[in-house]
């Protein structure tokens, strides 16, 4: 009986092992493609990234981004430290990786032999009874020993700058976020808590619920773009309203003149009343 018990236990363990192995293999074998289509952009500063799983587009991102990274250099006296700033942008040949899911997604962009890695984390959740998606975290890993941008950096090495408790680009589920205006973030670096500035513009992103291959869902415009669009259309609206007021005024005046002309003209000389 004990032998049977051991065989049952071994069989159960083997089944669990096979199940776990099958799950892992399924994830590994899930075909994933990542494409950097930045060369198709007419804007030299704008990058285009696509992540596809099993032949279906699951994440699309278009944006222009620039980073301003502070770093220390040694002063001329050889004692004091001076803070300089490195300005970075994504090159056209950047390598990308991605991860798609039902409620979590990630886009990772690396360049110059992994001296720089930019990560954007997305989540989908229910907020105030409505399903939305948003950026939950942004991270930049940078190496100050990369001398192209960090000139004479003091104590060079790799650092990680990350946002904390981020809730950005909040968008209704099934729609893409679109914004021409600059969206700015500040990341806190492991390099003495320095603030790294990230500026994104000309944005179009959708990390979930893409219905057609290489096609964004309906655009959800940022508040800044909505305000600018209102400022552009407001003079036109006011012009139309003013034109309507003028037309109505002229019409009323014309009707008034017509009604006045049809009334009988009474003589001013009272002596003429007898002949009427």
Phi-psi region of 128 (alpha: psi -120 to 50; beta: other; left: phi over 0): left
Half-sphere exposure (CA, 13 Å, Cβ side) for 11? 6
Return d(Cα 69, Cα 168) in angstroms, integer: 21
- pLDDT tens digits for range 126-170: 999 999 999 999 999 999 999 999 999 999 999 999 998 899 999
pLDDT on residue 257:
73
The CA-to-CA distance between both ends of the chain, in Å, stands at 137
- pLDDT tens digits along 13-60: 555 555 555 454 445 445 678 888 888 888 888 999 999 988 899 999
Dist CA 84 CA 69 (whole Å): 8
Query: Tell me, what DSSP letter sits at residue 275?
Result: G
- Is 7 in a helix, a strand, or coil? helix
Please report which residue ranges of 187-222 form alpha helices under DSSP H: none
Which of the four pLDDT bands, split at 50, 70 and 90, describes residue 3? very low
Query: In percent, how much of the chain has pLDDT > 90?
Result: 58
CA distance 76 to 83: 13
Greater confidence, 272 or 109?
A: 109
pTM for the full predicted model:
0.73
In the prediction, which pLDDT does 150 show? 97
């Amino acid at each position: 009986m004990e032998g049977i018990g051991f065989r049952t236990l071994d069989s159960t363990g083997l089944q669990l092992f096979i199940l776990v192995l099958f799950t892992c293999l399924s994830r590994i074998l899930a075909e994933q493609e990542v494409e950097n289509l930045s060369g198709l952009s007419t804007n030299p500063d704008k990058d285009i990234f696509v992540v596809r799983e099993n032949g279906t587009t699951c994440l699309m991102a278009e944006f222009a981004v620039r980073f301003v990274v502070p770093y220390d250099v040694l002063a001329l006296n050889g004692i004091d430290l001076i803070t300089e700033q490195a300005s970075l942008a994504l090159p056209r040949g950047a390598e990308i990786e991605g991860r798609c899911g039902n409620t979590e997604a990630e886009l990772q962009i690396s360049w110059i032999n992994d001296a720089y890695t930019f990560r954007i984390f997305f989540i989908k959740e229910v907020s105030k009874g409505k399903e939305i998606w948003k950026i939950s975290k942004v991270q930049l890993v940078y190496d100050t020993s990369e001398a192209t941008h960090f000139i004479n950096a003091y104590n060079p090495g790799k650092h990680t700058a990350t946002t904390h408790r981020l809730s950005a680009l909040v968008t209704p589920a099934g729609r893409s976020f679109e914004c021409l205006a600059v969206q700015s973030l500040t990341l806190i670096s492991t390099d003495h808590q320095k603030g790294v500035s990230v500026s994104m513009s000309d944005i179009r992103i959708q990390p979930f619920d893409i219905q057609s291959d290489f096609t964004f869902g309906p655009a959800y415009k940022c508040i800044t773009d909505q305000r600018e669009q209102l400022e552009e259309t407001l003079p036109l609206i006011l012009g139309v309203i003013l034109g309507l007021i003028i037309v109505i005024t002229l019409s009323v005046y014309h009707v008034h003149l017509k009604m006045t002309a049809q009334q009988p003209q009474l003589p001013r000389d009272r002596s003429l009343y007898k002949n009427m």
